[in-house]
Structure 1
Amino acid sequence: MAINTARLQILIEEFLKPVVKKVDEEAFYAEDYLIALGKEGFFQSNEKAQEQMLLDELLVVQETAKVCMTTAFCVWCHLAALTYLRNSQNAYLQKMMLPQFENGQLLGATGLSNPMKYYADLEKLQLSAQEVEGGYIVNGVLPAVSNLGEQHWFGAIAAVGGREVMFLVSTKQENLQLQPKTHFIGVNGSATYACRFTNVFIPQQQIISEDARSFCNLIRPIFIFYQIALGLGVMEAVVEGIDKVKAKQNGCNEFLQVQAAQVKNQREWLLENLQQLVLENRIALEPIVELRLATVYETLSAVQANMIHHGAQGYVAGSVPSRKLREAYFFANLTPTVRQLEKMKIQFVK
């Protein structure tokens, strides 16, 4: 059974739209909106076919991003954590933790920005672990993990011997220190923190996978799949934004090269191709990377057009077009970033 889109819009109207400016300008974290999504069943996977679950959650991210991509990014963080738990072979995580993540009692984060870059030969792994009785002792610093708070958990990966282990860690874990990071031109309301591990004990029941590399290969396509909805939501907002000012200065906007119809057509093409991959059970890395990369460039083009259509109005501090512009640039730099995606694309050809 598909999600109740009317109910989703009610939650957006009640919990998200009133705080969008606070999210953008005051680093406000729209936690209540994420909790409401969970309570209302928008993260439930029980009795859902895989394809229906993916399409439903894709829509949640997209509709959220249309209003506030920063909060949609937080939704994506939570879905990334859900993906880890749904695919883990750890019975405790699946039976005890997953239901709380799906019903909004707990919220999740990804913590895999550095490991994903590590597996792409872009960075060194920042966390190391030592195996001890009953689990692992972890040390190191993750520079930035988003969507964190009091009742939050996040996935992380640490090197141990000649392999890597992936685990779930609570923000309340003993010896874990969180330092807020808000000096961004956008997405300050994403509840982003630097996370320092100093002899943090991770019990065996919190281990997602003893073979993190293989596990990441499994979940990476879905991890990236959900991101595409961020750009699609922003593009949809741009279509509406350009339409609103089409009569500006006696309709001279009609002479601009990029129009709302063009953005709409490109967005629909991307969405249709993404949906087709789901329906054909082809959520594989290569086609997903290609669509993710195409969505980045189309989103950047769309927000630039939106700024030009709005003229001076778009350059006013706090304007919607300027926020969409900054959101799009964050989308381009979200792991996997444009440069990483371009590298991956070349590797596929080879």
Structure 2
Amino acid sequence: MAVDVEVLQALIDEKLTPLVKKIDEEAYYAEDFLVALGRAGFFHSSQKDEHKILLDELTIVQETAKVCMTTAFCLWCHLAALTYIRKTKNKQLRAEILPLLESGELLGATGLSNPMKFYADLEKLHLSAERVNGGYLVNGILPAVSNLADNHWFGAVAYNGEKEVMLFVNTDNPQITLKEKIHFLGVNGSATYTCKFDNVFVTDDYVVAQDASGFVDMIRPTFVLYQIPLGFGVIESSIIGIEKVKAKQNGCNEYLQIQADELAQKLQQLEDSLETLVQSDETDLQAICQLRLQTVYATLAAVQANMLHNGSAGYIVGSAPSRKLREAYFFANLTPTVRQLEKMTKVLKVAE
């Protein structure tokens, strides 16, 4: 059974659409919407194969991003956390946490922005883990982890002296200090925090992977794949925005170089490519990164076209076109960023 789009749309209309301006302008975190998705069963994975899980959850991200990409980004964070727990070999961790994440009783985050850059040879790893009896003592600072609040869980990768280990930690740990970051150009409602670890004890029960490098290699394709419909939703909403002002100034917009039908055709091509990747039996990181990169540039083109079609109305503070513009620039800077993707796609291609 496919995603019940009517039920999903009803949840969006009730718990997200009325809050979009508050999310954008007051850094409001739409936690209740994410919880509602879980309670409605949208994260349940039982009796589904991996293709079905991906296609359903990609649809949820895209439909959410059409209305609010900030919240869709938070949704992506939660899906990333779900991926960690679905893929871990730690059966106890999976049995304890997965049902709570899928039901919306708990919400999760990624914590892998720094590790993803580390494994792409762009940054040093910010966390260290000292092996002690029954677990690890973790120290260091993660500059930015999104989708966090009380009793939220997120992944963390730390160097233990020999290799990297991946852990699952809770924001309620008294040795973790959170400092909110809200001075972004956009997506201030993403519940983003700097996370300082001060001798945080993580028991072996919450070790996602003793070999983080191998685990990240395994989950990276899904991690990136879930980001792609963030752009799709923004493109789709930009097309709608362009169509709304079609008759503006006696139809003068028809002379602009980029039109809605061109954007719609490009979006369809990208959507078809995504479905082909998901249905493929082989995970092709090169192809996924290439599609993610194409989606970034298509999204940037769509929001710019939306601004031009809307004219001065788009430049009013709080306007939908200006919000979409800022969302698109965040999407371009979301790890893996556009510059990281440019490097990854070229390095991976050379390595083939």
Deviations 1:166-190 (A, max 9, x none): 0100001131100000011111000
Structure 1 residue 157 corresponds to structure 2 residue 157: yes
Q: Distance in 1 between matches of 2:295 and 2:282?
A: 18
- State the 1:349 CA deviation: 2.4
Deviations 1:10-31 (A, max 9, x none): 0000000000000000000000
Counterpart residue type for residue 183 of structure 1: H
In structure 2, the partner of 1:177 is: 177
Matches within 5 A, 1:139-150: 139-150=139-150
Deviating more after overlay: 178-187 vs 273-282:
273-282
Unaligned runs of 5+ in 2: none
- SS of the equivalent of 2:227 reads helix
Q: Distance in 1 between matches of 2:347 and 2:232?
A: 26
Q: Distance in 2 between matches of 1:282 and 1:329?
A: 31
TM-score normalized by structure 2?
0.99
In structure 2, the partner of 1:274 is: 274
Q: Distance in 1 between matches of 2:281 and 2:52?
A: 11
- SS of the equivalent of 1:124 reads coil
Structure 1 residue 236 corresponds to structure 2 residue 236: yes
Matches within 5 A, 1:28-107: 28-107=28-107
Deviations 1:111-151 (A, max 9, x none): 00000000001000000010000000000000000000112
Structure 1 residue 253 corresponds to structure 2 residue 253: yes
In structure 1, the partner of 2:217 is: 217
Q: Distance in 2 between matches of 1:24 and 1:52?
A: 32
In structure 1, the partner of 2:109 is: 109
Q: Distance in 1 between matches of 2:348 and 2:168?
A: 31
- SS of the equivalent of 2:16 reads helix
Q: Distance in 1 between matches of 2:284 and 2:85?
A: 19
- State the 1:277 CA deviation: 1.1
In structure 1, the partner of 2:138 is: 138
Deviations 1:224-280 (A, max 9, x none): 000001000000001100000010000010000000001111111001010011112
Q: Cα RMSD between the aligned structures?
A: 0.6
Q: Distance in 2 between matches of 1:89 and 1:2?
A: 28
- State the 1:93 CA deviation: 1.5
Deviations 1:258-304 (A, max 9, x none): 00001111111001010011112233211100000000000000000
In structure 2, the partner of 1:298 is: 298
Cα contact 1:51–1:281 (8 A) shared by 2: no
- State the 1:162 CA deviation: 2.1
- SS of the equivalent of 1:296 reads helix
Q: Distance in 1 between matches of 2:312 and 2:253?
A: 13
Q: Distance in 2 between matches of 1:279 and 1:221?
A: 14
Q: Percent identity?
A: 60
